[in-house]
Amino acid sequence: MPNCFHFFDEIDAIAPIRGQGESGSQINERMVGQLLLEMDNMASQEGVVILAATNRPELIDKALLRPGRFDFVVDLPMPDLVARLAILQSHCRHRPVDPNVDIGGLAARTANMTGADLQSLCQRAALLAIRQSVSTCPGPDFLPFTIDNDHFELALLEMTQDNPG
């Protein structure tokens, strides 16, 4: 049973492919080399597990993927319709969402969104509902808010404008 986990998020930023000729490449070469050395030293330690994540696996130096370093690569695809529906339901569960909101229809329209994108969509819709409630009744007695279809539509529009393509 492991007793120590090392997790590197965005590993491509600290272990890019060597020999690409970018500015500062000598620094990158040394940093990748040192990381490989440290990983080899940790691999000899009992109970140490090294994990890493990236959205850009093609940028990772291939030396990291040899046996004894990162032995397994797990590719997590974008969530399918069923997963997106479950993610949206999870993020709406403790929010005052109008019962007429079509979460299934929303899930169908978010095919290229990650779980983080769907979370952001729900947060934006909630903020829009809060702003509307506060502007309708400013002051300490603002009305309780409800997130409706219009809030989700506007949040979805904002997100597509923020990230075109």
Q: pLDDT for 33-69, tens place per residue?
A: 888 888 888 777 788 888 899 988 888 888 888 887 8
Domain check: are 22 and 90 in the same one? no
pLDDT of residue 150: 96
For 10, 11, 73, 103, 164, the CA distances from 51, given in Å and listed in that order, are: 11, 10, 10, 34, 32
pLDDT of residue 6: 85
pLDDT of residue 22: 57
Whether 111 is in a domain gets the answer yes
| Enclosing domain of residue 133 | 81-162
pTM for this prediction: 0.70
Domain check: are 60 and 85 in the same one? no
Domain check: are 95 and 128 in the same one? yes
Whether 148 is in a domain gets the answer yes
> Per-10-residue mean pLDDT for the chain, 165 residues long?
84 84 70 86 80 89 85 90 98 96 96 94 96 80 85 94 71
Total tally of structural domains belonging to the chain: 2
Q: Which residue has the tokens 């490449």?
A: 25
Distance CA 85, CA 78 (A): 13
pLDDT of residue 46: 81
pLDDT of residue 36: 87
For 14, 41, 89, the CA distances from 69, given in Å and listed in that order, are: 15, 10, 38
